[in-house]
Amino acid sequence: MIARSRQIALALTAVLAAGAACQAQNQEPAARPGRPAPTAVDPRGFTLVASGDVLPHSSIIDRARFDAGGTGYDFRPMLAGIEPVVSRADLALCHMETVYGADGQYTGYPAFKSPPEVAGGLAATGYDGCSTASNHSLDDGADGIRRTLDAMDRAGLRHAGTARSEAEARTVTVLRAGAAKVAHLAYTYGTNGYPLPAGQPWAVNLIDEQRMIADARAARRAGADVVVLSVHWGTEWQDAPDDRQLALARTLTASRTGGRPDIDLILGTHAHVPQAYEKVNGTWVVYGMGDQIAGQMYNHQGAPDPRGNQSTVGRFTFAPPARPGGRWEVTRAEFVPQLFDIDAGRVVNLNAALEQGADVAAVRDRIRDVVLSRGAAQDGLVMGG
């Protein structure tokens, strides 16, 4: 993996340089300045992109400090290779797996405290919001949640899944995407054994299928045209979705109100490896996008596992309903294969890398085979660039 990473780093100088150049109350901000006009075929439609876990190990923190010239932390160069894909979407969502520290007290595994500059790097790349519910949400208790959400607010990055107050926990995160209002909800299977803060049972959203459905319905009542669920779930290092993922996906996508699905898209994180995309009950489910940013990953056998630095970006084009009150339909579903080059410290769009002559066809094809392993190609999923 290291030798291949060095080869990729050498072959991708031009790619990275080009990327660098290039029940609730409703809360809805203005669109991000500079966001292009909607790109869907219908001018009132929109494209949504979503990516996997941002997991800054100590080596990632060191790289961001190096990229900042030794003073502060700069995560923008790390993400430059995927910036063209992210910034051209009408709405871009990420998954911030860790909480933020303060005053230079930053740590990697097992209890993460990341530099708050991560939020600025994500926003500069074009992300509009992140899910924040994960098994690491309570690595530094309620203070970690507060610092994280404060930093995201300063960066203009929306968030869903954790909260600083009960009022915030009850507030639907609604983002603009073209003419649509998109609700973003997020949940995690657990918090690594850390208890919820005393008196704050609302601090982290935990998976509960009835609550998730109730929240989706509340978001719809609050005016959401599209409801997106981010779910931190699954079995680590397992390419295939586990039985719990499959069962929960079936239950969530089967839920309807007045004949209209309550949930329009499910985005999965946590497994550290790319997992399949599948259309379930007419709704797209991404079981696992993999790690977008992470240091050297070691599997359960303690061996370095390159799959832990592979991931996908999902890209979904939504068209408005044919009649008032109807569903916004996904008219095009795509995935973009990615690699985090641990030597260069850069996110790599593998299709762009192939166009530049990098020897990455084997890893690109492995990701493709996993993504399509549950028949998504028959439902129209294609690989994008």
Q: Burial of 210 by CB count in 10 Å (0-12 exposed, 13-18 middle, 19+ buried)?
A: exposed
Q: Are 61 and 106 in contact (CB under 8 A)?
A: yes
Residue with tokens 């991000």: 32
Rounded to a whole number, what is the largest CA-CA distance in the chain? 57
Q: Which parts of 162-245 are beta strand (E)?
A: 171-177, 180-188, 226-232
CA dist 85 and 29 (Å) reads 23
Give the helix/strand (H/E) hosting 27.
strand 25-27
The DSSP code for 308 is: G
5-40 pLDDT per residue, tens: 433 443 443 333 333 333 344 455 444 544 544 443
Please report which confidence band the pLDDT of residue 48 belongs to, taking 50, 70 and 90 as the band edges: very high
- Distance, in Å, from the CA atom of 267 to the CA atom of 323, rounded to the nearest integer, reads 27
Fold of 2-383: Purple Acid Phosphatase; chain A, domain 2 (3.60.21)
Cis omega (within 30 of 0) for bond into 195: no
Contacts of 208 by beta carbon, 8 Å cutoff, 6+ apart: 187
Report pLDDT digits (tens) over 177-208: 999 999 999 999 999 999 999 999 999 999 99
Beta bridge partners of 265: 228, 284
Average pLDDT on 352-367 reads 97
258-262: long-range pairs with CB below 8 Å, 24+:
258/325, 260/325, 260/326, 260/327, 261/327, 262/213, 262/216, 262/217, 262/220, 262/227
Domain boundaries in the chain?
A: 2-383
| pLDDT at residue 40, rounded to an integer | 39
**Element (H or E) spanning 261, and its range?**
strand 260-261
Quickly list H helices, 162-279: 166-169, 209-221, 243-254
pLDDT tens digits along 78-133: 999 999 999 999 999 999 999 999 999 999 999 999 999 999 999 999 999 999 99
**Predicted confidence (pLDDT) per residue in 144-165, tens digit:** 999 999 999 999 999 999 999 9
d(CA 346, CA 205): 31
- Which two three-digit tokens encode residue 274? 């790319």
> Phi and psi for 70 in degrees, rounded to 5?
90, -5
Give the bridge partners for 260, in sequence order: 257
Which string of DSSP letters, residue by residue, matches 95-119? Answer: EE-S-B--TT--B-SSS-BB-THHH
Per-residue pLDDT at 332 exceeds 50: yes
The pair of structure tokens assigned to 204 is 């982290």
pLDDT at residue 372 in the model: 98
Q: How far apart are CA 113 and CA 60, in angstroms?
A: 12
State the Cα–Cα distance between residues 131 and 149, nearest whole angstrom.
Answer: 11
Residue 43: predicted pLDDT: 56
- Per residue in 214-269, pLDDT (tens digit) is 999 999 999 999 999 999 999 999 999 999 999 999 999 999 999 999 999 999 99
Neighbours of 311 (CB within 10 A): 29
| Spatial separation of the C-alpha atoms in residues 32 and 40, rounded to whole Å | 18
Residue 78 and residue 64: Cα distance in Å, rounded?
8
